[in-house]
Amino acid sequence: MPERPFIPPHGNYRELLSYQKAEIIYDITHRFCERFLKKGDRTIDQMVQAARSGKQNIVEGVSASGTSKEMEIKLLGVARASLEELLNDYLDYLRVRDLPLWDKNSKEARYVRDLRNDTFETYRDFVLTRDASVVANIAICLIHQARYLVDHQIARLEQDLVEKGGLRERMTRARLDHRDQNRH
C-alpha cells in the first residue's frame, strides 16, 4: 500500500453545512406543499423533486468525490441548479399571490440567517404554524444560504483540482513513488 492512499477520505456529507441546509429545505418544502398547495397540483411534484435533487446530488457528489472530483463538481452543479429551480417556484408562489418577499436585510431575513441550529427542528414551529408567506420566505432565505455554500464548495473543488490534480495524477504519483521505493 502507498504511504498516502491515492483515494482520499470522502463521503462525509452529513457534516457539510450545504447538505444540512439542503435537508432542511427539503423538509420545509415537503410540508409547505402539503399545507399550501392543492392536491393534484403539478407544482407539488416539481417543488418536492427540486428540493430532493438539491439534497441528493450533494450526497451523490460527495460520495463520488474520492474517485472523481469532476463528477463531484458536476453533481454539486446539479444540486445548485435544483435549488435555483426551487427558489423560483417559491418566488413565483409569492408573486402570483401578491404576497410579500422579504428584503434580504429585513429583520425577518436576518433572524432566519442568524439561526445556527441546522436541523429542521429549529424551523418546525414556524413551518407548521405560520402562514404561507412566512414559510415561503424562510425557505427562500435557506435556499440562498445553501446556494452560497454550494458555490463555495465548487470553487474549493476547482482550486483543489488545479493544485492537487485528480485521481489519475494521484494514481500516477503513487505508482511512481512505489517504483522509486522498490529501486532502493
**Cα–Cα distance between 166 and 68 in angstroms, integer?**
7
Q: Quick check: 3 pLDDT over 70?
A: no
pLDDT tier for residue 10 given thresholds of 50, 70 and 90: low
Phi, psi angle pair for 70, to nearest 5°: -60, -45
Q: SS3 of 120, please?
A: coil
Quote the cell numbers at residue 169: 495524477
Burial of 21 (0-12, 13-18, 19+ CB in 10 A): buried
Question: What's the whole-number mean pLDDT along residues 100-109?
Answer: 97
**Cα–Cα distance between 48 and 12 in angstroms, integer?**
24
Question: What's the whole-number mean pLDDT along residues 121-129?
Answer: 96
CATH of 13-113+123-183, one of 3.40.50.300, 1.20.1440.60, 3.40.50.261, 2.60.120.10: 1.20.1440.60
Question: pLDDT tens digit string along 22-78?
Answer: 999 999 999 999 999 999 999 999 999 999 999 999 999 998 876 678 888 999 999
Instruction: Supply the DSSP symbol for 45.
Output: H
Give the C-alpha distances (Å, rounded to integers) separating 76 from 16, 60, 148, 155, 158.
Answer: 12, 9, 12, 11, 12
User: Who's near 53: CB < 8 A, 6+ residues apart?
Assistant: 78, 79, 82
Instruction: Return the pLDDT at 121.
Output: 95
pLDDT tier for residue 1 given thresholds of 50, 70 and 90: very low
Domains of the chain by residue range: 13-113+123-183
pTM for the whole thing?
Answer: 0.84
Q: Quick check: 172 pLDDT over 50?
A: yes
Question: pLDDT tens digit string along 128-152?
Answer: 999 999 999 999 999 999 999 999 9
Name which of 31, 136, 47, 44 is nearest 84 in CA terms: 47
